[in-house]
Amino acid sequence: MTPVSAGASSPVCLADYERLAEQRLDATAWAYFSGGSADEITLGWNRAAFERIAIVPRVLAGGPGGHTRLTLLGRSYAHPILVAPIAYQKLAHGDGERATAAAAEAMDAGMVLSTQASVTLEEAAKAGATCRWFQLYVQPEREATLKLVRRAEAAGYEVLVVTVDAPINGVRNREHRAGFTLPPGVVPENLRDIAVAAFPPLAEGESAVFDRFLAAAPTWEDVAWLKGETRLPIVLKGILSPDDAVRAVEVGADGIIVSNHGGRTLDTLPATIDVLPDVVAAVAGRVPLLLDGGIRRGTDVLKALALGASAVLVGRPIVYGLAVNGAYGVAHVLRVLRDEFEIAMALSGCRTLADIGPHLVLLGAGR
């Protein structure tokens, strides 16, 4: 696919990519990528919460030496915008995660690869040098979990991102209405050789949710066990509670991603930006905090960092760019967001990330 040509219909912001992606994707893929759980209240809150936060700039703060560089878990990054883990990207484009990894490398963006990627973790790592974080779903059998971890280590991944907020799928009514199923040729490639446990039939009175899925779900003990089995830093993704954040640090987590799974698990979870300040206070700088959920503008990145995040992850806009124009689309999404962020910094009086702080934001301004 060739790059989108310049012109009146060319996308100039992330919202444009969303509009164009809806036209490109079939109805079932659109429902999968864009939908949330139940009534999609959390999905809406993620955006509305950013819109309620105003920026109060500082002026006459120019000068040389400005940049967006940061160090995160032992590696330097050109900017604090990472690609979130997104499953089954071949639903959006035939090159899937390979295209996203190539685009992330071109734009100096760190990338987190999903366990449920539609290419192998080895292929993704070869496609883009910045694809070095691996999102891990803890498997029911520890042997299967370790198999994924060892593959990630061998392929050069540098961080394990353990998702902790989805022991079972949410009630995704939009997907149900669209009749979503994976088409032929799109499978979770990293799980091909993972044996799926055969559950016995439920006994009378047993619950599939409690007696099957939750009974096999990971616990804090599994995180502590995993910490002892790998040299890689472990970041827990899906923390909203300050108490859980404190416990994550206590069991050895090296970082936390404040996330509500993009509004795809339990509906009416709070917006991530709303809970971020309390989590920041609870963690008290002991580990880096990242945030995802609702990032659509460079000003959103600025607001997240002002409230204590070290970096942000971007999900749906990445796949929208992929659907519209493959690797070119993903690269443009990342470029636009980084440009907007740098402009927001400059207009707020920030020459480096160290200048960004809570003094720049006014909470509840849009109520």
Count Cα atoms within 13 angstroms, Cβ side, for 54: 7
* Known active-site residue 93: no
> What value, to the nearest 5°, has the Cα angle with vertex 172 and ends 170 and 175?
145
Angle at which helices 27-34 and 316-348 cross, to 10°: 40
- Give the list of residues 6+ apart from residue 304 with CB closer than 8 angstroms, or none: 273, 276, 291, 295, 312
8-state DSSP, 4:
P
- Give the integer Cα–Cα distance in Å for 99 and 287: 31
Catalytic, out of 79, 93, 261, 332: 261
Closest among 275, 138, 276, 157 to 220, alpha carbons compared: 138
Alpha-carbon 323 to chain mean position? 18
Nearest to 100 by CA among 130, 58, 133, 145: 130
Spatial distance between the Cα atoms of 236 and 240, rounded to a whole number of angstroms: 11
Gap between the Cα atoms of 334 and 318, Å rounded: 8
The CA distance from 208 to 226, in Å, is 27
Tokens for 207, please give them: 């619950």
Which residues are catalytically annotated? 261
